[in-house]
Amino acid sequence: MIWGGDSLRSLFNKPFPEGKKIGESWEISAVPGKVSVVSNGFLKGNSLTDLIEVYMDDLVGEKIFEKFGTEFPLLIKLIDARDDLSIQVHPGDELALVRHNGRGKTEMWYVLEAAEDAGLISGFNREVSRGIFTEKLESGQLLDILNVEKVSPGDVFFMPAGRVHAICRGVVLAEIQQSSDITYRIYDWDRRDDSGRPRELHTDLAMDAIDYGYHDNYKTKADDKMGSPVIIADCRYFTTHRLGFEGRIKRDYSLLDSFIIYICTKGSFNVNIGSISTGLLRGETLLLPAVTEEVVLSSPGGSELLEVFIKI
């Protein structure tokens, strides 16, 4: 990515050459052409789509399989913004279906690292209309109406489809989203690519996708307690808990009809399911099948994870 850096390699040991700009690590994906592959065990080398075709609701959950079939419904990313991303918006389900025969893109961000004075853009700082938005965009004064937030590690932002947004330089975050790669760029800071060409904008498409509403607060407030899960996002597309713990804890999923995703955000921990054990380091992501009933997590030094699933 033109705005990427090398933090995903230096912080999380992601395998890519030094000096190459990388903006995103797609941790769990079933987006066509970018499908995750099993990394170990007897299923090593099989794709996520292969697994859903074979194991169906045992992997994803009965109601999720009924709704999505062999399409995995979420996309998990780590993002390194060495430079500002474009100001953009994602369409909702109805518009994405009509225009792209795809799904909309509601997402959430969990800040992992933030440089001093790093920030992001989320929504508007006042009541606006489509006319006001167009006027500000055409006059080069779009930033006048956008809400800019300073960020710190641990901050949470929920980004429903339709909300204008941008990740700004100096931010590394985890992104949980619908399985969609549809983005409408509105403004790209007059930036040019390696060939000297301005990057493509999708302003006309964006106008019908934008939610012009104003909100008093765009940052999610959540408790920072240890030892039990804290809800930091809960919508029809996904639920996310933050779980900080030290020592040994159990998670009971016997009544949950969904796969479970762990994203290690601090420290490291072991995951034990019966006789099966694996470790997870900061920046690593693990997918557990829906048939998982009980998990034992252990971390002698203290760790934090994001726990993601779907409630239908």
The answer, yes or no, to whether residue 62 has pLDDT greater than 80, is: yes
Mean pLDDT calculated for residue range 33-58? 94
Delimiting residues of CATH 2.60.120.10 domain(s) in the chain: 7-29+72-220, 230-309
Q: Which residues contact 163 (CB under 8 A, 6 or more apart)?
A: 89, 122, 123, 211
Average pLDDT, the chain: 95
Structure confidence at residue 199 (pLDDT)? 86
CA–CA separation, 107 vs 235, rounded Å? 10
The answer, yes or no, to whether residue 52 has pLDDT greater than 90, is: yes
Catalytic residue among 9, 163, 185, 251: 185
* Confidence band of 9 (pLDDT split at 50, 70, 90): very high
With contact defined as beta carbons under 8 Å apart, do 111 and 173 qualify?
Answer: yes
As separate numbers, helices (DSSP H) first and strands (DSSP E) second, the chain gives 7, 20
Torsion of CA 51, 92, 153, 166, to 10 degrees: 120
Measured in whole angstroms, how far is the alpha carbon of residue 280 from the centre of its chain?
18
Structure confidence at residue 195 (pLDDT)? 78
Integer-rounded Cα Rg, in Å, for the chain is: 20
Q: Residue 305 is inside which H or E element, if any?
A: strand 294-309
The answer, yes or no, to whether residue 118 has pLDDT greater than 90, is: yes
Q: Which CATH fold would you assign to the domain 7-29+72-220?
A: Jelly Rolls (2.60.120)
- 230-309 — its CATH code? 2.60.120.10
Mean pLDDT calculated for residue range 58-65? 98
pLDDT over 90, % of the chain: 89
Total Cβ atoms within 10 A of residue 133: 20
Structure confidence at residue 192 (pLDDT)? 83
What b/e string do you get for 3-23 counting C-beta neighbours within 10 Å, with b at 16 or more? bbbbbbbeebebeeeeeeebb
Q: Is 185 labeled as catalytic in the residue annotation?
A: yes
Q: Which residues contact 148 (CB under 8 A, 6 or more apart)?
A: 119, 120, 121, 125, 168
Mean pLDDT calculated for residue range 117-134? 97
Mean pLDDT calculated for residue range 254-276? 97
Phi and psi angles of residue 267, each rounded to the nearest 5 degrees, phi first: 65, -145
The answer, yes or no, to whether residue 100 has pLDDT greater than 90, is: yes
With contact defined as beta carbons under 8 Å apart, do 185 and 86 qualify?
Answer: yes
Mean pLDDT calculated for residue range 134-160? 97
* Confidence band of 227 (pLDDT split at 50, 70, 90): confident
Bridge partner residues of 287 (DSSP)? 261
- Residue 134 is given by DSSP the state H
Structure confidence at residue 223 (pLDDT)? 83
The answer, yes or no, to whether residue 194 has pLDDT greater than 80, is: no
CA–CA separation, 98 vs 184, rounded Å? 15
CA–CA separation, 157 vs 312, rounded Å? 22
